[in-house]
Structures are given as C-alpha cells and as structure tokens.
C-alpha cells in the first residue's frame, strides 16, 4: 500500500514544473502582443510621397538633375541612382544591383547640419552628378566625372522618417552629357586636378603645370603654395561658399596655366579674386563667404572647367600641358 504522504511528495515536482511553464507562457503574452502591435504600426506607416526628377542641363562631364518633393516633402532627403543607359539596356532595361561596380548612387541627407535637401512639399533642388563637390549632407560611391557624349539613366527615392516609410522609386529618366570633341587647349575638372596633385591618388601622376608646382598661385590677394592649394581642394565645403569657390577657381587657374583658352573665364576669375580679397581659405585660415554670394561664380567657373563653356573638356583626361 502506497503511503499518501509519499504520493504527494512524489508529484510535487511535476506540478511545480507545470505551474512554472504556465506562468512563463503567461508572462510572454504581453511581449508577443506588444511585438505584434509594433510590427503592425511599422507596417502601417504611410510612405513618403514619391519625388519627381528631370534633366536640368549638362556639361561634358556632368549632368544636373532636378529633384522635386511631393505632397509630404522630403524631410530626410533622398537617394539618387544612375548608370550608363547602355549598361541599363544590356541588363534587359533593369537596374543593376547596388553592389555592381557599374551602379552609382548618391545620398542627399535632409537631416545633416546646413543641408539643402530637407525639401518642403513641392520644393525642388538641383544636384550636379559628375565631379561631385564636397557638400554637407551628400555622399556618393561615384565621385568622378561622367563620360562625354554619353546617355545615363537616373531614378530616386525619398528617405524614410520616424513616421513615414521610404517612397517608391521615381520613373527612370534618361539624360546625356555634352558631345565629345576637344583634345587640345581644353579644360579639366577640379576633381582631376585634386587627384593629380602633389600627393596623387591611385595610379595618377603629379600633373600640375611646372609654374604652379614651383610658385603656387594667388586666390584673391593671398599667395598659396602647391601643397596649400591641394589641401584646399581636399577640404570639404560644408556650407562655406569660400571653399566651394576656391575649388573651382584653383581648377580654372590650373587649366589656364596648362594652356586652355582663358577667354570665356577671364572675367569670372577676376571677379572671384576680387570677392575673395584678403580672406584666407580653410583649412589654412578661417575665411567664410555665404554660398548665396558665391553660387553664381561657382557655377560659371565650374562650367568652364567641365566644358560647358570655353574650349571644352579634354576628351582623354590628359591634356598637352604648357610647361
């Protein structure tokens, strides 16, 4: 005959385990419900309105793309993607994967300090795709110039926010750089001169004209050595119009020293020097100019350097330099 006391003692572990399991399951219920609710909220976020894009001019090495916000605006900015139209067609008119080296992308953050990419509903901004200037809030995996006489396809999407999911992609838009056709007395971009300076990048050589290697040049009334000029070219603009202007002014003066016809840019160079005057350009000094004061000159000098005006951009990226 089994002793009742022993029976109770023997079954206690079983009931205790069952009770603990039941309690654990009950404790998980609120977590599961909360997780489900969180996922439901995330899934129910409305999307950012899809922006629109359009071609807005080109040089031989760059294309301007205008991005316009929809009804929600683009409070966190947007991403622009592009590749050669020939590569797009070869892939069955489908976009390449982001990891493909032929696929290019640039992010324009609306949340960065001094960003111009936080767009209100219906507001537009034009970005220059090609020889990217350092711009606060912008980053890219393809910072070099585009090829002359070439069609490119573009698309964009708006970035997500805390309350809205990212937008759909825009429709695919095709734009083209200006035709090739210049091999001598031609110009090169500030990106070229930066990567071919006193500390060349990649497999490049130091290709600056000998006169500037030896004597440097002036920006405004201030003289800079070749090493100084390279440090300026490597300095991000970060909302300082003086730095952005210096980038293009250095490139224009290097182009003229290398033998490019200066006729179309002489007046702009003189105006830029007068505006800079005694300001010392960062990182060598603390000079500052508002971008609103310099944007017109930056565009004019950039157009000369990139081949939209003047003798045109060098097709082979290797001009015959006058030493």
Q: Quick one: 201 and 98 in the same domain?
A: no
Residue 204: inside a domain: yes
Q: Quick one: 199 and 172 in the same domain?
A: no
Q: Quick one: 199 and 264 in the same domain?
A: yes
pLDDT of residue 88 exceeding 50, the answer is yes
Residue 16: inside a domain: no
Cα 225 to chain center, whole Å? 29
Q: Domain boundary at 148, 176, 204, which?
A: 176
Cα-only R_g, the chain: 29
Decide: 200 and 206 in contact? Cβ < 8 Å. yes
Q: Quick one: 107 and 165 in the same domain?
A: yes
Residue 160: inside a domain: yes
Cα–Cα–Cα angle for 136, 82, 70, rounded to 5 degrees: 70
The DSSP 8-state label assigned to residue 258 in this structure reads: T
Q: Quick one: 168 and 195 in the same domain?
A: no
Q: Quick one: 151 and 61 in the same domain?
A: yes
Q: Quick one: 107 and 161 in the same domain?
A: yes
pLDDT in tens, 251-297: 999 999 999 999 999 999 999 999 999 999 999 999 999 999 999 99
Residue 223: inside a domain: yes
pLDDT tier at 320, thresholds 50, 70, 90: very low
For residue 62, the enclosing domain spans 52-176
What is the mean predicted confidence (pLDDT) over 6-19?
Answer: 46
Residue 184: inside a domain: no
What is the mean predicted confidence (pLDDT) over 160-187?
Answer: 90
Task: Name the percent of the chain in helix, strand, coil, to the closest 5.
Answer: 35, 20, 45
Q: Where are the beta strands (DSSP E) in 59-103?
A: 63-68, 77-84
103's tokens? 């696929």
Q: Domain boundary at 143, 176, 209, which?
A: 176
pLDDT in tens, 141-161: 887 788 888 999 999 999 999
Q: How many angstroms separate the CA atoms of 15 and 50, rounded? A: 59
What's the pTM value of the predicted model, to 2 decimals? 0.68
Q: Quick one: 129 and 198 in the same domain?
A: no
DSSP labels, 136-169: TTEEES--SPPPTT-EEEEEEEEPP-SSSBPPPP
Residue 152: inside a domain: yes
CATH of residue 96:
2.60.40.10
Where helices occur in 218-264 by DSSP H, the ranges are: 226-233, 241-257
Q: Quick one: 126 and 203 in the same domain?
A: no
What is the mean predicted confidence (pLDDT) over 62-86?
Answer: 96
Q: Quick one: 75 and 153 in the same domain?
A: yes
When divided into structural domains, the chain yields a total of: 2
Q: Quick one: 220 and 120 in the same domain?
A: no
């Amino acid at each position: 005959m089994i002793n009742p006391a022993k029976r109770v003692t023997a079954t206690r572990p079983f009931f205790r385990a069952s009770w603990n399991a039941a309690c654990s399951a009950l404790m998980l219920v609120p977590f599961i419900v909360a997780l489900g609710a969180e996922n439901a909220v995330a899934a129910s976020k409305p999307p950012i309105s899809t922006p629109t894009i359009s071609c807005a001019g080109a040089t031989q090495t760059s294309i301007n793309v205008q991005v316009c916000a929809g009804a929600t605006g683009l409070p966190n900015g947007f991403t622009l993607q592009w590749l050669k139209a020939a590569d797009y067609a070869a892939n069955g008119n489908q976009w390449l994967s982001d990891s493909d080296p032929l696929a290019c992308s640039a992010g324009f953050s609306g949340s960065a300090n001094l960003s111009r990419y936080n767009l209100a509903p219906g507001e537009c901004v034009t970005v220059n795709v090609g020889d990217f200037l350092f711009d606060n809030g912008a980053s890219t995996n393809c910072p070099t110039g585009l090829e002359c006489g070439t069609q490119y396809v573009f698309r964009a999407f708006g970035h997500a926010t805390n309350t809205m999911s990212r937008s759909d992609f825009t429709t695919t838009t095709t734009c083209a750089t200006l035709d090739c056709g210049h091999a001598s007395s031609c110009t090169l971009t500030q990106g070229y001169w930066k990567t071919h300076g006193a500390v060349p990048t990649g497999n490049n050589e130091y290709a600056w004209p000998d006169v500037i290697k030896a004597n440097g040049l002036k920006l405004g009334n201030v003289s800079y050595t070749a090493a100084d000029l390279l440090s300026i070219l490597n300095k991000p603009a970060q909302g300082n119009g003086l730095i952005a202007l210096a980038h293009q002014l250095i490139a224009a003066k290097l182009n003229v020293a290398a033998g490019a016809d200066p006729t179309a840019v002489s007046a702009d160079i003189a105006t830029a020097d007068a505006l800079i005057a005694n300001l010392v350009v960062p990182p060598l000094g603390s000079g500052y100019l508002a971008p609103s004061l310099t944007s017109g000159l930056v565009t004019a000098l950039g157009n000369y350097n990139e081949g939209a005006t003047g003798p045109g951009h060098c097709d082979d990226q290797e001009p015959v330099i006058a030493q």
